[in-house]
């Protein structure tokens, strides 16, 4: 029978064991491409669409699947956003808009690595949107699939309660918006750019936590400090796993010669590439800072231990004369100097006090404390 000490430690140190818990580690390391995880069907699916051109825009909310499929006939640029994934809905929309079955499988996948692909006049990107959970002090992520076709963009999201496109929707409604005057690939760029820009918001939140932790380590390193360092390192793994592959995704789009991408918009994708490179550098900086903080924590622990050992060594040295004097006068000899002296006891006690005081003066002068 395998003994699990953590089960018993939780009874005595529940809060500390939560920090060192392995649930987050399992979540991070549970990616196995040889096993196809089953996605649970969404209980509710929300479909919204924007049909626009330079002159007008139409916002369509709570569309039915049939209404969304009919948007294929629109003579405007169409952005369809599906919140909540069901296999039947993804297949129906994919078949209607010419999305290859392999890409449909990627949309329905779980824990997929960010990627881009081009099949049958469709440009496909699979990425993660990041959010910072203020309550758990952790990084949450949501998989999003972006499909670019002739005069349409389709986005598939897992969570119907949140995304990062609110500001984009408001800008899209403005008659002066640049998105309204350009092709669908500019909307595609704007979606990618919004996702990447939100990475910096999440990293800023995580950076604040790192700064607070650094101040805590410098002021006073407690028993929970190492647990917080370990927790932040796990969140950085999430960032690294999410952000690093996006550089390949954007680079693939820039190198693509797909007719869906207009040459005039290529510079915008290069700007997204610059942003993602900066995000990668920032993640590396955070990792270096955390490694330095761990070394600083260990140095502080060793310093405190050295201080304790120094105090104990000084106390031991100061008590040594009393121990020696007491040992000498405790010997079982018939004749011991001062044993019969009237002030023998006080002389011995005085020596026990004066010698340690002299030793303290010597230690202080040598700068030992």
The rounded distance, in Å, linking the Cα atoms of 145 and 168 is 17
Give residue-wise pLDDT tens across range 305-321: 888 888 888 888 888 88
Q: What are the Cα distances from residue 128, in Å, to 4, 54, 224, 271? A: 35, 30, 31, 19
Kindly report the number of other CB atoms within 10 A of residue 130's CB atom: 24
Segment 218-266, tens digit of pLDDT: 777 777 788 888 888 888 988 999 999 999 999 999 998 888 998 888 8
Is the same domain home to 269 and 236?
yes
In a domain, 136, yes or no: yes
Give me 344's structure tokens.
């023998």
Residue 24 belongs to some domain of the structure? no
**From the CA atom positions of the chain, what is the Rg in Å?**
34
Q: Which residue has the tokens 């969140």?
A: 235
Domain harbouring 217, CATH code: 3.30.460.20
Q: Which two tokens stand for residue 360?
A: 């303290």
Residue 263 and residue 341 in one domain:
no
Q: What are phi and psi of 233, to 5 degrees?
A: -65, -35
Give the DSSP letter of residue 343.
T
Query: Is this prediction's pTM over 0.75?
Result: yes
**Considering the domain boundaries, does residue 6 fall inside one?**
no
Cβ(77)–Cβ(51) below 8 Å: yes
Model confidence over 85-99: pLDDT tens digits?
999 999 999 999 999
Most confident of 2-6, 19-23, 32-36, 104-108: 104-108
In a domain, 164, yes or no: yes
Q: What is the mean pLDDT of residues 56-73?
A: 92
Residues 192 and 340 grouped into a single domain: no
Q: Which 3 state secondary structure label does DSSP give 150?
A: coil
Whether 28 is covered by a domain: the verdict is no
Which of residues 300, 324, 341 is at a domain's end? 300
Total domains in the chain come to: 2
Taking the C-alpha atoms of residue 177 and residue 168, their distance in angstroms, rounded to an integer, is 10
Domain span at residue 339 reads 310-365
Is residue 121 within 8 A of residue 149, CB to CB? The reply is yes
Sheet holding 138-149, edge to edge: 57-60, 46-52, 77-83, 152-157, 138-149, 122-133, 115-119
């Amino acid at each position: 029978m395998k003994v699990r000490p953590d089960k018993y430690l939780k009874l005595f140190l529940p809060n500390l064991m939560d920090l060192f818990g392995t649930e987050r580690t399992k979540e991070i390391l549970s990616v196995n491409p040889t096993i196809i995880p089953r996605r649970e069907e969404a209980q509710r699916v929300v479909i919204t669409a924007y049909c626009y051109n330079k002159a007008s825009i139409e916002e369509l909310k709570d569309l039915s699947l049939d209404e969304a499929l009919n948007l294929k006939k629109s003579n405007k640029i169409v952005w369809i956003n599906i919140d909540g994934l069901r296999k039947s809905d993804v297949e129906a929309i994919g078949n209607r808009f010419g999305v290859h079955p392999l890409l449909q499988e990627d949309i329905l996948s779980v824990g997929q690595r960010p990627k881009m692909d081009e099949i049958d006049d469709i440009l496909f990107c699979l990425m993660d949107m990041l959010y910072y959970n203020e309550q758990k002090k952790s990084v949450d992520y949501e998989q999003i699939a972006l499909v670019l076709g002739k005069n349409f963009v389709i986005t598939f999201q897992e969570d119907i309660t949140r995304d990062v496109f609110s500001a984009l929707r408001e800008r899209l409604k403005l008659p002066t918006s640049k998105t309204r005057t350009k092709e669908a690939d500019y909307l595609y760029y704007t979606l990618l750019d919004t996702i990447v820009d939100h990475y910096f918001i999440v990293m800023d939140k995580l950076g604040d936590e790192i700064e607070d932790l650094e101040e805590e380590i410098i002021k006073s390193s407690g028993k929970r400090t190492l647990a917080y360092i370990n927790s932040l390192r796990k969140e950085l793994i999430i960032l690294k796993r999410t952000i690093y592959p996006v550089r390949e995704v954007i680079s693939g789009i820039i190198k693509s010669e797909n007719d869906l991408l207009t040459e005039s918009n290529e510079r915008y994708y290069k700007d997204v590439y610059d942003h993602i490179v900066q995000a990668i550098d920032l993640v590396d900086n955070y990792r270096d800072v955390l490694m330095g903080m761990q070394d600083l924590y260990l140095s502080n622990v060793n310093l405190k231990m050295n201080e304790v050992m120094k105090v104990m060594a000084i106390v031991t040295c100061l008590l040594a004369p009393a121990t020696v004097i007491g040992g000498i006068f405790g010997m079982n000899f018939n004749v011991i100097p001062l044993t019969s002296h009237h002030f023998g006891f006080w002389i011995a006690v005085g020596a026990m006090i004066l010698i340690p005081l002299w030793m303290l003066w010597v230690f202080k002068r040598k700068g030992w404390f």
